[in-house]
Amino acid sequence: IMFLWCVLVLVSLLSVATGTSAGVKARITQKGLEYGRAIGIESLQQKLRTIQLKDVSGTEKLAIGKVEYSITGMQIVNLGLPKSALRLVAGTGVMLSVGDAYISLRGNWRVKYSWIIKASGSFELAVSELAISTTIAVKSDVTGRPTVSVTKCEATVGSVKVRFISHTIYLLFQICPLVTASIAEMNKNLKTLNVLAKVDQYAELEYSMVESPVISNAMIDLGLKGEFYNIGQHKEPPFSPRPFLLPSQDTNMLYIGVSAFSINSAGFVYHRAGALCLYITNDMIPSGSLNRLNTRTFGKFIPQIGNMSPGLMMKLLVETVKEPIVTLEPNNMTVQASSKVTAYAIQPNSILSPLFVLKLEASVIYMYTARCDLAESYVGPFQVTSLEDILTTVVKDVIIPKVNAGVKEGYPLPAIGKMQLVKSQLQVLKDYLLIGTDVTLTG
């Protein structure tokens, strides 16, 4: 049960948008299921040990007449699930089976026949060769959250050593109702699953399921929306997700495909919010660089600046003029950004005096390339090519490290207990990034 919860939260991965292509895809392999079985069976044992066994009472017709009886105070004292298996049921969900299980319990008994015979005492019950099999369907509801339901549950017993056998077997039939009740409780939690995660003050990420999980005999595939939005303003970007298929790999427990659409929706959101801007000052330039942000350095290339604003420090404002676009090809990721760069001289009274504005078309792959054009000048005409060396320093040594620092912080995923990703690998494929990883649960 706990493993199913982990799987479902992992993908929740949160209005079913019928016909919408997934921005993010997740795959859970048989290896992942096997790990889930190992940790889930221990959880199941703990859950079974907490069963509150109901008292049993009634009457039996014997040769001497009707005998009243009651069995009370029953407690489980030992329980084991030595054999278990978890497998996928194509088109449905998962089947959990347990074999050769055993249960020992104790309690009190009491019998009464008229006013003549009264007797009471304690007893111990040993049940062996207990088998449990349950099939759980996994789908998505109208809100894009996962739902689960029990489609089949069977519990059989090999031997029971105790008096009143027919009545103690009744106790075993509480197992399937327990499973059904646990699944119902899980659905209550799934309905409250957060499907919209706040990233920061500008953006939130929606990862609702766009369709019910696709389940084969070897894996579970989930399609998630994976789209960024401005907080409280769900405006769609001027582009749509392209369909993509995860490769047939199964060496890891979990595979996550993040489309270029998901990444570009983030760029669209941050551009709309005005967050893709950066003031660059001289102290941000590496100390070993000869290119400094002051009118002395710029005056070497644009003499008017040195003459009109001698001995002043400078500041650059870099801001996007439209959303940046990421393109993904096998082993290659390109970022195309259209920006403008406004240069200011910082007056002694801290007033910023504009010097010029450049249009900057930048492309970042493994190497940085850019094309600059003069958009506006407050100091007269000059050759923009003379500034290429300085602008390259600014982009490589300031802007790109800033972007990398932001990406390193990552984005929130649904909370899954204390799940950690291990042995993770990243591949750049056509139109999406593929993350292959194993998982471990601690605590």
Determine the average pLDDT of the residues in 302-313: 92
Element (H, E) at 38: helix 30-49
pLDDT for 16: 38
Lowest mean pLDDT among 15-24, 104-113, 256-265: 15-24
Buried b (16+ CB within 10 A) or exposed e, 130-165: bebbbbbbbbbeeebbbbbebeebebebeebebebe
Lowest mean pLDDT among 144-158, 172-186, 249-263, 424-438: 172-186
Q: Which carries the bigger pLDDT value, residue 26 or residue 442?
A: 26
Q: Which carries the bigger pLDDT value, residue 51 or residue 214?
A: 214
The number of angstroms, rounded, from the C-alpha of 293 to the middle of its chain's C-alpha atoms is 43
pLDDT for 9: 43
Residues 323 and 335: their CA atoms lie apart, in Å, by 11
Of these ranges, 42-46, 82-86, 116-120, the one predicted with the greatest mean pLDDT is 82-86
Residue 44 pLDDT exceeds 90: no
Residues 194 and 14: their CA atoms lie apart, in Å, by 6
pTM: 0.74
Residue 229 pLDDT exceeds 60: yes
Determine the average pLDDT of the residues in 415-425: 72
Residue 345 pLDDT exceeds 90: yes
Q: pLDDT for 56-80, tens place per residue?
A: 888 877 666 788 888 888 888 888 8
Residues 160 and 130: their CA atoms lie apart, in Å, by 10
Q: Are 159 and 127 in contact (CB under 8 A)?
A: yes
Report the SS3 class of residue 206.
strand
Q: pLDDT for 96-113, tens place per residue?
A: 888 888 888 888 888 887
Q: Are 239 and 264 in contact (CB under 8 A)?
A: yes
pLDDT band at 20 (very low <50, low <70, confident <90, very high): low
Q: pLDDT for 376-395, tens place per residue?
A: 888 888 777 777 777 777 77
pLDDT for 13: 37
Closest among 204, 214, 172, 197 to 79, alpha carbons compared? 172
Please report the domains of the chain, with CATH numbers, ordered by start residue. 30-191 (3.15.10.10), 198-409 (3.15.20.10)
pLDDT band at 204 (very low <50, low <70, confident <90, very high): very high
Tokens of 83: 């054999």
Percent of the chain's residues with pLDDT above 90: 28
Q: List the beta strands (DSSP E) in 235-380.
A: 254-259, 277-281, 313-320, 325-329, 332-346, 352-364, 368-377
Tokens of 241: 């997700």
pLDDT for 228: 94
The phi, psi pair for 86, rounded to 5°, reads: -130, 120
Cα angle 214, 189, 97; round to 5? 55
Report the SS3 class of residue 194.
coil
Cα distances from 303 to residues 307, 359, 381, 386, in angstroms, run 6, 21, 11, 11
Tokens of 431: 């139109």
pLDDT for 52: 76
Q: pLDDT for 121-178, tens place per residue?
A: 888 888 888 888 888 888 877 777 778 788 888 877 776 665 443 344 444 456 677 6
pLDDT for 370: 65
Q: Are 107 and 120 in contact (CB under 8 A)?
A: no
pLDDT band at 237 (very low <50, low <70, confident <90, very high): very high
Report the SS3 class of residue 323.
coil
How long a stretch of residues is the chain? 443
CB atoms within 10 A of CB 100: 14
